[in-house]
Amino acid sequence: MAGWFELTKSETNGQFSFALKAGNGEAILKSEQYTTKAAAQNGIASVQKNSGSDERFEKLTAKDGRPFFNLLAGNRQVIGTSQMYASEASRDNGIASVKNNGQSETIKDLTV
């Protein structure tokens, strides 16, 4: 089953964000919050454009030692961030999942 994007609006501050979900429904990449829906939709378009390129993935380690990654746009701005992983191998599997699902054209708009 192919992945999809979920576009949401925060009930607390009214800002928009999105998550890329794998075919099993697990969130594999989450965005920052955007002040407008259009900006969040542009973020989704940026994931679709950049997720197929190895050089767009920034592999990082949190202060507590857990690996994670960021997906970067061409201007090196962070588009989305992964969850924290238990191992580098798990993080690399997460990157592979974003590469496989990031070009999905399915967007579930939960803001309406």
Annotate the chain with three-state secondary structure: CCCEEEEEECCCCCCEEEEEECCCCCEEEEECCECCHHHHHHHHHHHHHHCCCHHHEEEEECCCCCEEEEEECCCCCEEEECCCCCCHHHHHHHHHHHHHHCCCCCEEECCC
Q: What is this structure's pTM?
A: 0.94
Confidence class of residue 112 from pLDDT cuts 50, 70 and 90?
confident
For the stretch 41-91, pLDDT in tens is 999 999 999 999 999 999 999 999 999 999 999 999 999 999 999 999 999
